[in-house]
Amino acid sequence: MDYTDEISKRRTFAIISHPDAGKTTLTEKFLLFGGAIQVAGAVKSNKIRKSTASDFMDIERQRGISVATSVMGFDYNGLKINLLDTPGHKDFSEDTYRTLTAVDSVILVVDCVKGVEEQTEKLMQVCRMRSTPVIIFVNKLDREGKNPFELLHELEAKLNIRVQPLSWPISMGTSFKGVYNLYNHSLYLFRPGGVTVADDVLAINGVTDPVLEQQLGDYAVQLREDVDLVEGTHNPFDVNEYLRGELAPVFFGSAINNFGVKELLDTFTAIAPVPGGRPTDVRLVKPGEKDFTGFVFKIHANLDPRHRDRIAFIRVCSGKFERNKMFHHVRMGKNIRFTSPASFLGARKSIVDEAFPGDVIGLYDTGNFKIGDTLTEGEKLMFQGIPTFSPEVFKELVNVDPGKSKQLAKGIEQLTDEGVAQLFTQQQGNRRIVGTVGQLQFDVLQYRLEHEYGAKCRFESMAIYKACWITGDKTEMEKFCRFKSERIATDKDGNIVFLAESEWVLRNMIEAYPDVKFHFTSEFKREMQQVK
């Protein structure tokens, strides 16, 4: 097959939402329709003991939430789908933000009962910053939720984007009858309790078709009024406005009941963008270029607990990745060969011989990679837009079993490499300080350190307001570090970090030391690498 044909076959997207909106359930149903799995797992059901394919970590199965992005590939309608199921909880938002740099479009899941929630708004802001095309799936129509017109207004007002429904619900809750497809004028009838792939689609001749009365009874009148109002207030759907990130199509359904999922997937595969270009510090890399490029956006340790492996997930941006071929690690300045690159379905993996732009593959890593690293065929460039942010919660890591010191050191080193937390070391007292976005990450770290590395620990709170990377004039830096020696640490790369105890102190230090620069993201590291 021609190289350009391979690119045109790819669709790479993330599913995002506020926690408990049904994101992981929707992911499972996509895999079901794509034939990647035979039975969909239930995230919180005690009746179905099979766990979801995307939530494969023990702590995810126990808590019923996603705490790490899952990478899944499957085929559908002749296309190669790369799906990334992201954490919804705000404590793991940094993982989600990085994932959004590796996709070309997004499906945003909204709970029809709760509407637009806080995390939904934050995730959408990231998509708007990058003009990422977004499709909205309003979920849980089998429950009594908000009026659909009210939901549309809320979506536009809170997400700052024009929306256009491509399907319309016929009632909801206990009286939910189905949805009418505004895109192809079909009627989808709801059958509650479905656990297998079903196809209850009725071809009708628009809302004037008398078949509506036969199927919907009195609900047909309300449907006609709603459709007239929707079509009277919206122009015909413009796919180019969607691709530019200016217009978000809206679908209604119930993922737990398999309802509206196939319709969503069919439309997504028809209109979603093919792999696009990616900015670097040198130029824009286009997918059709001959030479391979790609970047690491995620690292996961112990994906397979039996082998204690460490996987670096890379998004292919241009050219063709080939197994056993030497590629250039730009940051380290050396060439590396990969003998066992893999594609993934959650924790299940299979070896791949080649990959094309849009594909996400896992590379076995012995510690060479950091998040944001770039691979090329020799060109010196670094992909941009994958920063590490200053944490918000800080705690000291305390070893409770001195006999497991080596295991604890290895564990915290590898787990912080994943990007869910940052590790700072203070020379005074040799204290290890872990910084995260939220409390839940400490629970996950403690659980994984014990169960994956056999190292028990506890975390003790510290009075730290902000961690700032500092650079600048050597003399001024030495002067500052002597003055605030009890507040100076280093990150995993040896960069100097100031652990400010309060906003007032930080502001005073910035004013008192104008020749010292205070950085709140890791982007400054790339600038330093370019200077070198």
Range in 20-24, 57-61, 209-213, 475-479 the model is least confident about: 57-61
Residue 40: pLDDT band (50, 70, 90) is: very low
What's the confidence (pLDDT) of residue 508?
95
The reply to whether 348 and 244 lie within a common domain is no
The Cα 13–Cα 15 span in angstroms is 7
The reply to whether 71 and 116 lie within a common domain is yes
Q: Give the mean pLDDT of 229-237.
A: 89
The reply to whether 284 and 256 lie within a common domain is no
345, part of any domain: yes
Residue 531: pLDDT band (50, 70, 90) is: very low
Range in 83-97, 211-225, 346-360, 372-386 the model is least confident about: 83-97
- What are the residues whose beta carbons fall under 8 Å from the beta carbon of 449, sequence distance 6 or more? 408, 411, 412, 415, 455, 456, 457
185, part of any domain: no
The reply to whether 352 and 411 lie within a common domain is no
The more confidently predicted of residues 108 and 527 is: 108
Domain of residue 159 covers 3-176+236-271
- CB atoms near residue 514 (< 10 Å): 10
The reply to whether 486 and 410 lie within a common domain is yes
The Cα 418–Cα 526 span in angstroms is 19
31, part of any domain: yes
In 3D, which of 476, 461, 521, 530 has the Cα closest to residue 495? 521
Contact 139, 253 (CB under 8 A): yes
The residue type at 464: I
The more confidently predicted of residues 64 and 388 is: 388
Average pLDDT, the chain: 84
The reply to whether 83 and 99 lie within a common domain is yes
Residue 20: pLDDT band (50, 70, 90) is: confident
What's the confidence (pLDDT) of residue 159?
94
The reply to whether 292 and 316 lie within a common domain is yes
The Cα 310–Cα 327 span in angstroms is 19
Helix segments in 318-439, DSSP class H: 405-417
Q: Give the mean pLDDT of 55-83.
A: 66
Domain boundary pick from 316, 346, 376: 376
Q: Give the mean pLDDT of 419-442.
A: 85
What's the confidence (pLDDT) of residue 58?
52
Residue 303: pLDDT band (50, 70, 90) is: low
The Cα 359–Cα 316 span in angstroms is 6
Contact 293, 379 (CB under 8 A): yes
The reply to whether 401 and 525 lie within a common domain is yes
524, part of any domain: yes
The Cα 321–Cα 357 span in angstroms is 9
Handedness of CA 88, 93, 99, 105 (dihedral sign): positive
Residue the block writes with tokens 């001959």? 290
CA distances from 331 to 61, 94, 328, 379 (A): 36, 22, 9, 11
Q: Give the mean pLDDT of 382-407.
A: 86
Q: Give the mean pLDDT of 64-74.
A: 62
Structure tokens at 405: 């010191």
The residue type at 366: T
513, part of any domain: yes
The reply to whether 136 and 60 lie within a common domain is yes
The reply to whether 106 and 242 lie within a common domain is yes
Residue 436: pLDDT band (50, 70, 90) is: confident
Residue the block writes with tokens 């920063």? 387
Residue pLDDT, tens place only, 131-189? 999 999 999 999 999 999 999 999 999 999 999 999 999 999 999 988 888 888 888 88
The Cα 34–Cα 104 span in angstroms is 20
Q: What is the CATH number of the domain that holds 521?
A: 3.30.70.3280
Q: Over 90: is that where the pLDDT of 413 sits?
A: no
The reply to whether 399 and 360 lie within a common domain is no
519, part of any domain: yes
Residue 87: pLDDT band (50, 70, 90) is: low
Range in 39-53, 291-305, 341-355, 493-507 the model is least confident about: 39-53
What's the confidence (pLDDT) of residue 349?
75
Residue the block writes with tokens 């319709």? 263
Residue the block writes with tokens 């500052």? 480
Range in 167-176, 268-277, 385-394, 503-512 the model is least confident about: 385-394
What's the confidence (pLDDT) of residue 161?
94
Structure tokens at 170: 């016929």
The phi, psi pair for 402, rounded to 5°, reads: -55, -25
Range in 134-138, 365-369, 387-391 the model is least confident about: 387-391
Domain boundary pick from 271, 290, 314: 271
What's the confidence (pLDDT) of residue 42?
36
The Cα 248–Cα 127 span in angstroms is 11
383, part of any domain: no
The phi, psi pair for 232, rounded to 5°, reads: -75, -20
The Cα 33–Cα 264 span in angstroms is 11
Count up the domains in the chain and report the number. 3
Burial 90-99 (b: 16+ CB within 10 A, else e): bbbbbbbbbb
What's the confidence (pLDDT) of residue 64?
46
Structure tokens at 110: 């909204």
Q: What is the CATH number of the domain that holds 53?
A: 3.40.50.300
Residue 526: pLDDT band (50, 70, 90) is: low
Residue 346: pLDDT band (50, 70, 90) is: low
Range in 179-183, 217-221, 386-390, 425-429 the model is least confident about: 386-390
The Cα 28–Cα 17 span in angstroms is 15
Query: Quick one: what percent of the chain has pLDDT higher than 90?
Result: 51
The reply to whether 284 and 136 lie within a common domain is no
Q: Can you say how many angstroms the Cα of residue 369 is from the centroid of all Cα atoms in its chain? A: 19
The phi, psi pair for 329, rounded to 5°, reads: -85, 105
Q: Over 50: is that where the pLDDT of 528 sits?
A: no
43, part of any domain: yes
Residue pLDDT, tens place only, 464-504? 999 999 999 899 999 999 999 999 999 988 899 999 999 99
Q: Over 70: is that where the pLDDT of 66 sits?
A: no
